[in-house]
Structure 1
Amino acid sequence: MSNINMIIEERPADIGNFLVGRLLPFRGKRMVGPFIFIDHMGPALLKEHQNIDVGPHPHIGLSTLTYLFEGAIMHRDTLGTAIEIFPNQVNWMTAGKGIVHSERTPEYLRHSDKKLHGLQIWVALPKELEDMPPAFYHAEADQIPAWETDGVSYKLIAGEAFGHKSPVPVYSKLFFLEIKSPTTKTIRLGDELFGEAGLYILEGSIESEGNTYEPKRILVAKNSQLCEFVIHANTTIYIFGGEPFPEERFIYWNFVATSQEIIEKAKKDWKEDVFPRIDGEGELIPLPPELPHLRVKY
């Protein structure tokens, strides 16, 4: 019997001036463990007149994880953070009760051709922490645990697995793991995973029980304890997941919460300019009109 419960294909989504591949949430699977949102950005070649300009916008009830393969993004937020993220680094911003940030092409790249490729991920906070103070953490590439087993390279971007622990300060039991192989190998993860697990194929392909799966899709496992597959040569995958929460989650725009009342308050606060402002940033992104929330249940 196959251990693959669901296949989720990337769907195009317009985030204003940039097209991304939306993976989560999906109508048949809103979350995988605490992971509630995943966008695949690019790969894109931006011309000298094309730049990323995601202006000041709010978040509540989640942590954002930005992980780049190519390019650079300048992050600013209402904690006073102003930092450029490069490939293989991790930006981990925890919104808690509320934070505002912007993401833009760095100034020195704005008038030249540039590439952008990466993942934007949201991880929902546990109910008891959704009103925590906001926080920000940046991890350099050499701070992320990395090792090799049987010619296969592993990197633990967030969480715990294989006896390793990422320095990224997560707030629930989860894992976000990169696996790369230059040759065809059989991967057996077994007891290293827990809760729910999803496998995202960035490049190359994998084989499971006679079926071959190619990039730009998530494979959701029926049982994370039975994760075994063949990774083909020159393949990069990301395995993510963890323990699911007992409560449902609501999503509206950039807000995640355990109740619709919390969402409504955040909407009202943004419209009334109650959220803090980013120093040096101007016009705010307005609350989208008539955007239905997505209800998440287990």
Structure 2
Amino acid sequence: MTNNQILVDEKPADIGQFTVGRLLPIRKKRQVGPFTFIDHMGPATLGKGIYMDVDQHPHTGLSTLTYLFEGEVAHRDSTGADQVITPGDVGFMTSGKAVTHTERTPPHLRTETEFTMHGYQVWVALPKELEEMEPNFQFIAKEDVPTWKDGNTKYTLVAGEGYGRKSPLNVYSPLFMLKIESPEEKTIKINGELEGEIAIVVVTGSVLERDQEIKAGQMLISKTENHCDIHVKANTQLLLFGGKPLGREHYLLWNFVSSDREKLKQQKQDWMDKKFPKVPGDDTYIPFPEMRLK
């Protein structure tokens, strides 16, 4: 491990009946490019009365990206979007000035049959000039997500640009999110293929970095924008996040992101006063938790 890299271990956090591993933000690094929050969901066994049920809650100043390896999530939000996200699909909700949404196990999986839930949800901060934009929801089906192979190694460009390719997802700043799957031990070329800061999340398998092994559940962050190639062991899956920094510090308060601290305080009050738009036909409400501005 060199002094221009940071090693991050997942920290558990509860979201109802579901426990996630939180990878970002950390004290040493609040953002990687525009990415400001990364949650690893599972792998967890659901079913037989245990489901994902995240009631109506708000977001501002960011886009949420949901990407699954296993299981399904029924996404509904105040723009009217109603979409089941399955493995390989990309769900991308941009909150802008204000949005609310719910995330639940879809009805057809609420049976006595158990299933595995596994995926990631990441938050991408919006540039200052777009923090008050109108909210929207985009969905890219798995068959429309760019994939290719280099030998036996498979690449999936979930969002943004990299390796001379571009995702059909409309994003609001230069970024990338990429899945890499290698069945064999090899060196994977990164330098010159991705632009900006970079975080390497080990989903399965491991990465060899000098004399250290980075294992599943850990994330390696480069402090510089020029990261050398990485060496992976056989049967490794990686998620790579990053891009160009937005140029301003962003602050977090619960589900709100902004470059303006005072704006976050007003958004908190607006949620407590129930001034946010609602998911059609949904009256659930998650109260604002006790927490400090970060």
- Whether these two folds match at TM > 0.5 is yes
Letter of the structure 1 residue corresponding to residue 222 of structure 2: A
- How big is the alpha-carbon RMSD for the aligned residues of Structure 1 and Structure 2? 1.3
Residue 31 of structure 1 corresponds to which residue in structure 2? Answer: 31
Per-residue CA deviations over 1:190-232 (Å, capped at 9, x if unaligned) read 1112221110000001112232211101101133423212111
Per-residue CA deviations over 1:69-119 (Å, capped at 9, x if unaligned) read 000110100111111000000000000001000001111212332221000
Residue 62 of structure 2 corresponds to which residue in structure 1? Answer: 62
Structure 2 gap segments, 5+ residues each: none
Letter of the structure 2 residue corresponding to residue 93 of structure 1: M
Verify: 1:20 aligned to 2:32, yes or no: no
* Counterpart-to-counterpart distance in 2, 1:54 and 1:181: 34
Residue 41 of structure 2 corresponds to which residue in structure 1? Answer: 41
Residue 172 of structure 2 corresponds to which residue in structure 1? Answer: 171
* Counterpart-to-counterpart distance in 1, 2:16 and 2:72: 18
Letter of the structure 2 residue corresponding to residue 251 of structure 1: L
* Counterpart-to-counterpart distance in 2, 1:31 and 1:176: 14
Q: Residues 271 and 286 of structure 1 are in contact (CA less than 8 Å); yes or no, is this contact kept in structure 2?
A: yes
Residue 6 of structure 2 corresponds to which residue in structure 1? Answer: 6
Tell me whether 123-132 or 262-271 shows the greater mean CA deviation: 262-271
Residue 237 of structure 1 corresponds to which residue in structure 2? Answer: 238
Structure 1 residue 17, shift from structure 2 partner: 1.9
State the TM-score, normalized to the length of structure 1.
0.95
* Counterpart-to-counterpart distance in 2, 1:226 and 1:138: 31
Letter of the structure 1 residue corresponding to residue 72 of structure 2: A
* Counterpart-to-counterpart distance in 2, 1:226 and 1:18: 34
Tell me whether 150-159 or 36-45 shows the greater mean CA deviation: 150-159
Residue 94 of structure 2 corresponds to which residue in structure 1? Answer: 94
Letter of the structure 2 residue corresponding to residue 164 of structure 1: R
Per-residue CA deviations over 1:145-190 (Å, capped at 9, x if unaligned) read 1111132111110000111000111100001111111111111211
* Counterpart-to-counterpart distance in 2, 1:47 and 1:85: 17
* Counterpart-to-counterpart distance in 2, 1:226 and 1:251: 27
Letter of the structure 1 residue corresponding to residue 198 of structure 2: A
* Counterpart-to-counterpart distance in 1, 2:28 and 2:13: 18
Residue 219 of structure 1 corresponds to which residue in structure 2? Answer: 220
Change (3 A) 1:142 1:3: farther
- In the TM superposition, 1:1-298 aligns within 5 A as 2=2, 5-112=5-112, 113-289=114-290, 291-294=291-294
Q: Residues 47 and 109 of structure 2 are in contact (CA less than 8 Å); yes or no, is this contact kept in structure 1?
A: no
* Counterpart-to-counterpart distance in 1, 2:17 and 2:4: 35
Q: Residues 161 and 194 of structure 2 are in contact (CA less than 8 Å); yes or no, is this contact kept in structure 1?
A: no
Determine helix, strand or coil for the equivalent of 1:226: coil
Determine helix, strand or coil for the equivalent of 1:288: coil
Tell me whether 47-56 or 58-67 shows the greater mean CA deviation: 47-56
* Counterpart-to-counterpart distance in 2, 1:216 and 1:30: 19
* Counterpart-to-counterpart distance in 2, 1:135 and 1:43: 29
State the TM-score, normalized to the length of structure 2.
0.97
Q: Residues 3 and 227 of structure 1 are in contact (CA less than 8 Å); yes or no, is this contact kept in structure 2?
A: no
Structure 1 residue 142, shift from structure 2 partner: 1.0
* Counterpart-to-counterpart distance in 2, 1:208 and 1:5: 10
Identity of aligned residues (%): 46
